[in-house]
Amino acid sequence: MPTTNDSPCNAMATPASPGTWNQEQLLQSLTDHLNQLITEKSSRLPANRLLLQLRQDATFQDTLKRWRTMSSTERLGAWKNLLECAGKHAREALPYCVRCGDCCRQSSPTLHLEDLELLQHNRIPWNQLVTLRRGEPVRSPLEEQVFYLLDERIKIREKPDAQECVFLGEEGDSCLIYEDRPLQCRAQACWDEEPARELSKQPYLTRRDIFQGVELMLELIAEHDRRCSFDQLNEAFLQLQADHGESIDAVLGLLQYEDHFRHFLAEQLKIPTDNLELIFGRSHSGLVPLFGFRVVPEPDGTRRLVPDETNEKR
């Protein structure tokens, strides 16, 4: 059934004439107009970014300040000026970050070698970092497609069951580490992807950079990568699919071994649990949903695999 923006609900919510709007109705109507510009692809800016950019415009600020005291005729003229102003901003992005949070909601940043200084000076807590290891599937925010890593990456964590950066504030548009944000955050621009594409050619930060000189840690990382690689996990699930579940014990054994490896060393070396995903990467058990399953612990301490209804099998 065809739909239209001029629904009865919208008509009841906001009077038709701008001359009768209060300030709240003005802001709602302006937001609706900005969303319409986005929908019609008149602007490549995210709607939230466009609104924040418009709020910095002198025309908007003056209109909002005087709206309550304007006559109906003055409000009609001011509304027309706001529409023209919105159209201008939709076409011309301000060449700087207005902290709209759109990049932060798409993904957390991947760290580059230059970001090492932020870690060394505790600008970014180590327990908010996670290593993505060689072979793991990841999604590119630039290409919107999945690819497999040829070498490792270190990222800031994302919020549970979401893609947005853990440092995006509760209001959804405020970076909690803005003054000390990583290089990728500084290069990202929702109005221009080219700086981020150029940055992707620069060296990425690795665990070898972080733990340089700590030979024991580097040896343990290398041993974990050798014994518990993502490729081994991937091959185990491919075999599970090929033999219709007969190799389930082998998969469970692999999960148990990797879990024991990381937690045994954490206990022996007094490694904080929340640093393990930086040191050894994501656990095998944590990666199981990528294959369409989830791990269920049993009362006797054993585990079983069950289909994960919340994730599509890759």
pLDDT digits (tens, 9 = 90+) for 221-272: 999 999 999 999 999 999 999 999 999 999 999 999 999 999 999 999 999 9
Across the strands, what pairs with 311? none
In whole angstroms, give the CA distance from residue 290 to residue 312: 8
Separation between Cα atoms, residue 23 and residue 25, nearest integer Å: 5
pLDDT of residue 202: 94
State the chain's mean pLDDT as an integer.
88
The token pair that represents 278 in the structure block: 């930086």
User: How many beta carbons lie within 10 A of that of residue 4, not counting itself?
Assistant: 6
Helices in 113-243 by DSSP H: which ranges?
Answer: 116-120, 183-187, 194-199, 207-210, 215-227, 230-242
**Which tops the pLDDT comparison, 152 or 17?**
152
Q: How far is CA 227 from the centre of its chain?
A: 30
Supply the pLDDT for residue 87.
86
* 125 to 29, 68, 153, 177, 198: CA distances (angstroms): 42, 47, 17, 11, 27
pLDDT of residue 281: 98
**CA-CA distance, 13 to 15, in Å (whole number)?**
7
Q: Determine the Cα–Cα distance for residues 14 and 24; give it in Å rounded to an integer.
A: 10
